[in-house]
Structure 1
Amino acid sequence: MIKINYFYSPEKESEINLEIWKSFIDSGEEGQRIYKEYNNDTYEIQLKAVTEVEQSGLPAIVEEILASSGMGALPILVVNNNVYKYGSFLLIDAIEDVLDIGLSIQVEEE
């Protein structure tokens, strides 16, 4: 099982990143079935909004990064209890690397 935790600032997180995560979470059992069929593994995703006021209850590795780098270190992507990326990074590239899949997104213009 691949455990993915994404810690982000609700004030600064892009809507596109949250939509990417939402699509994985909404895929539910069907998404898990397809992933397991092709990769012989499963994944679990948890998102956590982090504010300057409320930083208790975070994993020690996340607290350490926030203590040394401040809120600018967000977002922080933790995979299997290890920090995978933090700060400024392309979420799609990170997910593709972690889950060994290809992603494509479409953004509708308003």
Structure 2
Amino acid sequence: KPGDACVIFTPDDTHFDMALEAIRRGIHVMITKPAVKTLAEHRQLYEEAKKKNVLVMIEVHKRFDSMYSDARDRIRDGLGEFSYFYSFMSQPKFQLSTFRSCK
């Protein structure tokens, strides 16, 4: 018997097919970001989940990371306006197509 829920934490281009299969089997799904490549895929997962009455959640692990929650709290406590912000993210080359398609 399958479990009640699954976590999809695999290469980006595998998320949609795996999530759709789980949903069709009536299994709740948690998917790491980015969930899927296109809005059409998002909509299809949404419609299938409604039909099967299962939950689909996008995993947002940084939301609970202490470094990010500290920054959020400082902003809420009146840090003030930003005049400069810098960020860097490294990503495997094979996953870049996902980011390019999210326009």
TM-score > 0.5 by shorter chain: no
Name the one with the larger strand percent.
Answer: 1
TM-score normalised per structure 1: 0.27
TM-score normalised per structure 2: 0.28
Q: Between Structure 1 and Structure 2, whose CA radius of gyration is higher?
A: 2
